[in-house]
Amino acid sequence: MRARSTELDGVADVPADGRVDARTIEPRWAGFVAGALQAVGARDGVVPALELDVSSTVPAGSGLSSSSALSVALTIAFAEAAGLALGPDAVARTALDAEVRATGVPGGLMD
């Protein structure tokens, strides 16, 4: 899986199965890609190889939960690509799992 950000530097190559320590991937934002792959995989979703262009209007590091927004967007995209139907509660919980995998920090479900 190859991911690019339109706002942040770097291109990331992440194994499609997410089998990598998401906290060590560079560029740092790509850890969220690996975390979301792992979290969707933990729900038995098999995400096909994709090329991602990541774009956001939520400024990174602004205190507006940009990492949570990214985790939710990636979770929804990967679940859909895997043919996995997740309701709103499952999306929120899977996205939280993705963010924790990416950062190692247990965040809150309401972010």
Tokens 């919980």, located at residue: 93
- Token code pair at residue 107: 């965040």
Catalytic residue among 21, 53, 97, 111: 111
Q: Is the dihedral of CA 38, 69, 51, 81 positive or negative?
A: positive
State yes or no: is 21 an active-site residue. Answer: no
Identify which of 20, 25, 27, 22 has the alpha carbon closest to the alpha carbon of residue 4: 27
Catalytic residue numbers? 111
